[in-house]
Amino acid sequence: MPTLKDYLGSLLRDLNHARVIADLETANIAKMYAEDNLLKHFSIPRMKIQETELTIPVAIDELDSSVEIDYQPIDNKLFYAKTYAEIKNVFKVSSFNRDISTALKKAIYSHIDALEKLIKSGADIKVSLDGFSETVSDLALETIISDKKGRVVFDAILKSHNIDDDQVKELLVANLTKYLQAEIKPREMAGKIENAQVTVESDKLKDKRPESLLYIKMKITEESMEWQTMEDADGNVVAKLMVE
């Protein structure tokens, strides 16, 4: 089974070979014209195809894929900003005092780094994010409750919504997971189409699934080469291969 690049290369090779055959035939005709007293006065016919357009159906059987090498699943600053914003949103505050903010920033960044390492190692994104949301929610609650002013804010939230500590945590975990999911980029698989294994035989293409079929449009322009003689800078006659 050929690869796509081998198959396309063979088509170009065959077109070149067709031109060679045509030129050999032209040379034979030229000899025949030269030997005929009447034909030698006529111009020698020569076929030249300036442009060829092909539509080629193939079926992709196997795609050589490789994973993204420089994989960066998380923009750390943006991820932190959204995490911190959601914590403030749950607690209905525009900001926390400096002690709470500093403690939260350090803890959140630390766990963002851990989350990124997990995802890069191949861990499931959803499971990893659930664990991050759970851990950060615990740390956020602990940090806020341990601060006197933070405790006041926390108690006010419990009272206004008539909920308990566990329900606040559940809300925070759910919100973090929901709003941070879109900020994690999945690892991309890069398919090397030129190394794809392809089927090209018409009788076999009929049995292939429609989603595996690919139609390649190729437009080939001929640029013939010819030997030309010329003088170099020293006056010597040299032959060079030039575009016709």
pLDDT tens digits, 185-233: 987 755 566 777 888 888 888 888 887 888 888 888 887 777 788 887 7
Q: Are residues 10 and 51 in the same domain?
A: yes
- Specify if 154 maps to a domain: yes
For residue 172, the SS3 value is helix
- Specify if 68 maps to a domain: no
Q: Are residues 144 and 172 in the same domain?
A: yes
- Specify if 191 maps to a domain: no
- Specify if 114 maps to a domain: yes
- Specify if 70 maps to a domain: no
Last residue of some domain: 183, 208, 228?
A: 183
In sequence order, the 6+-apart residues with CB closer than 8 A to the CB of 30 are: 44
Question: pLDDT (tens digit, 9 = 90+) per residue, 60-76?
Answer: 887 665 555 677 899 99
Domain count, the chain: 2
Note the pTM of the prediction, 2 decimals: 0.52
- Tokens encoding 242: 């030039």
For residue 219, the SS3 value is strand
**Orientation angle between helical segments 125-146 and 165-180, nearest 10 degrees:** 140
Q: Are residues 56 and 87 in the same domain?
A: no
Last residue of some domain: 183, 211, 230?
A: 183
- Specify if 69 maps to a domain: no
Q: Are residues 148 and 210 in the same domain?
A: no
Alpha carbon 56 to its chain's center? 24
- Tokens encoding 58: 């193939």
Of 139, 129, 138, 135, the C-alpha closest to 105 is 139
Domain hosting 202: range is 4-60+198-243
pLDDT over threshold 60, residue 24: yes
The DSSP result for 6-33, as a single string, is HHHHHHHHHHHHHHHHHHHHHHHHHHHH
What is the structure's pLDDT at 192? 64
What is the structure's pLDDT at 225? 76
Q: Are residues 164 and 208 in the same domain?
A: no
Question: pLDDT (tens digit, 9 = 90+) per residue, 131-145?
Answer: 999 999 999 888 888
Q: Are residues 122 and 23 in the same domain?
A: no
Q: Are residues 174 and 93 in the same domain?
A: yes
Q: Are residues 54 and 81 in the same domain?
A: no
Q: Are residues 204 and 232 in the same domain?
A: yes
- Specify if 190 maps to a domain: no
Q: Are residues 206 and 124 in the same domain?
A: no
Last residue of some domain: 160, 183, 206?
A: 183
For residue 162, the SS3 value is coil
Q: Are residues 18 and 107 in the same domain?
A: no
Q: Are residues 84 and 179 in the same domain?
A: yes
